[in-house]
Amino acid sequence: MNARFYSFTFAFWFLLIVVLSVVPDNSPDRIQVGEGFAFRLDYVLHLLIYLPLGFFQRKSNLPGGFFYTLIILLTTAALPETLQLAVPYRTFNPIDLMLNISGAVLGLLAAVTVAWKTGK
């Protein structure tokens, strides 16, 4: 697949994330696992949703190199979460922001590792 495909996929995935971040959320906050332990599924989803974003960004081969890509990823990971400050029925959560950034960086590292292993 070529860089244009990855650029388009990155833009589409990011717009999908932005739209989903302002839609009202009616999902359960916690899943009870055993007695006294509640697990927040949305934390895992934040990490998993941003993994492909980092991968697509790196594979799009935009000029500027690794650090430029990292700046773009940090911005795209922070924007949807900070956008929730302006939406009355959504709340900003710093843990979500941290997981967004972590997922994007892990996706970026996966793309770099794949490129390094395959020599591309």
pLDDT band of 85, cuts 50, 70, 90: confident
pLDDT at 28 over 60: no
- The model's pTM is 0.80
Strands 31-32 and 38-39, how do they pair? Answer: antiparallel
At residue 39, the pLDDT reads 67
pLDDT band of 69, cuts 50, 70, 90: confident
- Using CA atoms, how far apart are residues 33 and 117, in angstroms rounded to an integer? 39
Mean pLDDT of the chain: 83
72 φ, ψ to 5°?
A: -60, -45
Write out the DSSP string of the chain.
Answer: --HHHHHHHHHHHHHHHHHHHHS---S-S-EE-STT-EE-HHHHHHHHHHHHHHHHHHHTT-TTHHHHHHHHHHHHHHHHHHHTTSSTT----HHHHHHHHHHHHHHHHHHHHHHHHHT-
- Using CA atoms, how far apart are residues 73 and 78, in angstroms rounded to an integer? 8
Give the domain ranges of the chain.
3-118
**Do the Cβ atoms of 13 and 56 come closer than 8 Å?**
yes
For range 7-11, the mean pLDDT? 89
For range 76-87, the mean pLDDT? 88
